[in-house]
Chains A and B, each alone.
Chain A
Amino acid sequence: MANKLKIGWFSFTCCEDSTIIFTELLNTHWKNWKNQIEFVHVKVLKKSPEIIPEMDIAFVEGAIAGDRQEQKLKDIRQKAKKLVAIGSCAVVGSPSNQRNFFNRSQLDEIRPILERFKYKEKVLKLSDIVKVDDVVNGCPMNEAVFLQIMDKLLNT
C-alpha cells in the first residue's frame, strides 16, 4: 500500500460529466490500475473523509462559485503534490461561469439567490485561485489526454 499513488477526485460547480467519464474509464482500466493507485478521496466511489487527506494527485473538476469552495480548493492544493484541472469548467470556467456574462435583466432575476446563498461576484476557473500543474480540457474531459496523464504518473 505504501507505494501506491494516492489520488483524490474533487468536484466543484459543474455537471460532473468528467466524473462520469472517469467512472466509465474504470470499466476497462481498473484492472491495470488497482495495484498502483489508492483512491484517498473520491466521493462518487466511496465515503470520503471530511478532512482532506495528503495525496500525490488531486484531479479537480468544476468552477468556483462560492467562498467555501475557494477555501476547499486552497486546502486541496496544499494537500496535493500535483493538481490537475479536469474539464472545461475547471480549466476555462465555462459553461458554469455563464452568469458572469448575464445582462442586467438576467442578473436581476438571479440576484436574490446570489445574495441569499452568498455566491461569489464572479464564477472563477481554478487557475484564478491556485497553481494548476496540468489540465485536461474538454466538455466532458478528453479521455485520451486524461489517460496520457495517468500513464505518465504511473510510469514515473
Chain B
Amino acid sequence: MTKKRMHDINDNFDINLSEISKVEGAASLEIKVRDKKIEDLKFYISEWKRFYTQAIQGKPFIAVPQLVARICGTCSNAHLLCSIKAIENALNITPSNQTMLLRKLLYFGLIIRDHALHLYVFSLPDIYKKNSILDFDENDLVQKQLLDDTFAVKEIGNQLSIIVGGRSVHAPMPTIGGFLKLPKLEDLKNLRPKLIEIRPRILKLIEIFSQSADTLTVKAPISFNGLYSEDFSFLNGIMKSTDGKVALGNELSKYIEAVLIPYSHARGFKLNGNLIMVGALARLNLTKEKLHPKTKIDVSKYLNLFPSKNIYHNNLAQSIEILHVIDLSIDIIDNLTQIIDEKPAKAKPKESTGVGVIEAPRGTLYHKYEIDNAGIIKKAEIIVPTGQNQILMERGIYEQTEKLLFENIDKEKITLEAEKLIRAFDPCMSCASHFLRVKWK
C-alpha cells in the first residue's frame, strides 16, 4: 500500500530550540529525525550553575534561608520555608500554631501566583493558539475576560504573600522560629472578599483545562510521588507514591536514585527504575480526597479524571489546586480573631542534621543541612522538583514525537507540540541547575 517517498523534507530534519519560551529559566531541546525515525533527542537544562550547595558551606545557619531563597525567583518562598523547616528540625524548634497558619497563608499566596503565571501566561496561549496572553483580543469578550482574569488572579496571590511575608518574592519576614514582623489582621480580613471574587474566575479556568484535547500518556512506567497529608497543605506529610511506596519525607534522598545526565547542567532521578513525576498531577493522583470540602463540591465532575497518567492533566490539577488554596486561605482568615505579638523562638546552635521537605508548586522539595556546634553549615543537599521530572520530560517528548512522526505530522507542528508538553510539566530550570551531588558518608 505505501510507496517509499523520495526526498521528503518531513523525513529528515533537525529541531534545535536553544531557549524554550514561556518556562522558568533556560532549557534547550534538540531532536534529530532521519528517515522519519528519531535518531537523537536531548532535552536539557541550559542554565549556568550558581553552586548553592557549595555556597552554603561555611555560612551560619541563620543566614541560610534568605540565601537559598535566591535559588529561584518564582518558587523563592518554597525554598525559604523548606530551609527554615530543615533548620528547625535540626535544632528541635517547634513553631507556634500562629506561625504555622501564617506560613500556610504565605505559601497559598505563592501557589495562587505561581500556578496562575504558568496556567494563564505560559499555557493558555497554547490553547487559544496565540503567542502571548498579551495578544489576546480585547474585542473578543471571552479573550478580554481571560486577560482580566490573568491579572486579577495573579495579583491576589501576590497580595496575600506581600501581606504575610512582606514581599511576594524572597519574603523578608518569615524566619527560623517565627516571623520578624507580623501581618495586620485587618489587611488579611480585607483580602477575604477579593479571594471570594476570584473563585468564579478559577472555576472558568478549570473548565477550560478540563476541555483541552491535549493528551500524552507515557508508555514507560511512572511513579507519581509527593507528600501526602490530611489537610493537603503542601507543608507537611509523608512521602507516598502511586506504586504503593511510603516513606518519611526526610528519607527522600535514599528513596530516589540520582541519575547523571551528561549533556545537562542538572541531574535527574528515578525510583525503583521507574520514571518519576512530581507536582500537581502527582498530588491530585495521591491526595484528591483531601481537597477542601468546598473545592471538592465545585470540582466533583473533574475529580473522576484522577488518578490520571495524562501529563497534560498537570494543568488541570494546578487549576484545581488554586481553588483548593483559595478555600483554605478563606477558612484560615475567617478563623483568625487576633494576631498575637509573638517573637521568633530562639535558635541555639548544636551539632545536628536537619531535613526539610515540602511540596513546592512543582513538586517535592528537599533541603538537608549538616550543622556544627558553632551553628556553621558543614554540608548541604537540595533536591528540587524539576530535577525529579527531567528524565520523564525527555521520555515524554520522545514518545510524543514518535507518535507524531508516525502520523506524518510536520516539523513545525512537532516543535510546537514538544514545547506545549514541556510547558505542561511547568519546569523550573532556575531551580534545577544549581546543585551537585554531595557524597554523604
Report A's interface with B, CB cutoff 8 A. Answer: 11-21, 23-24, 26-28, 30, 34, 39, 43-48, 50, 65-66, 69, 95-96, 98-99, 102-103, 106, 109-110, 113, 117, 119, 139-140
Contacts and interface: CB of A to CB of B under 8 A. Distances in A.
Given A24-B154, A110-B51, A110-B54, A44 B73 contact: no
A50 B18 contact: yes
Interface stretch (B42-50, B192-200, B247-255): B42-50
Contact of A44 (B48, B121, B152, B154): B121
Contacts of A117: 48, 265
B151 A27 contact: yes
Given A15-B71, A20-B74, A139-B70, A98 B51 contact: yes
A45 B133 contact: yes
B121 A45 contact: yes
Given A30-B151, A99-B50, A109-B436, A46 B117 contact: no
A14 B71 CA distance: 8
B76 A95 contact: no
A14 B431 CA distance: 10
Given A96-B50, A98-B55, A110-B436, A45 B73 contact: no
Interface string B281-318: 00000000000000000000000000000000000000
A100 to B, nearest CB: 11
Contacts, number: 124
A39 to B, nearest CB: 7
Contact of A140 (B57, B73, B151): B73
A16 B57 contact: no
Given A18-B73, A21-B169, A139-B70, A113 B436 contact: yes
B430 A15 contact: yes
A47 B125 CA distance: 11
Contacts of B58: 103
Centre residue among B22, B48, B55, B58 by max chain A CB count within 10 A: B48
Contact-residue bracket for chain B: 35 or more
Interface string B131-151: 111110000000000000001
13 contacts: A11-B26, A15-B73, A15-B430, A17-B76, A23-B121, A24-B155, A27-B151, A27-B155, A47-B22, A48-B21, A110-B436, A113-B265, A139-B170
Nearest to B155: A27
B108 to A, nearest CB: 16
A17 B54 contact: no
A54 to B, nearest CB: 19
A43 B49 contact: no
Q: Which 9 A-B pairs have the closest CB atoms?
A: A17-B73, A46-B132, A65-B48, A27-B155, A27-B151, A16-B73, A47-B21, A98-B55, A15-B73
Nearest to A17: B73
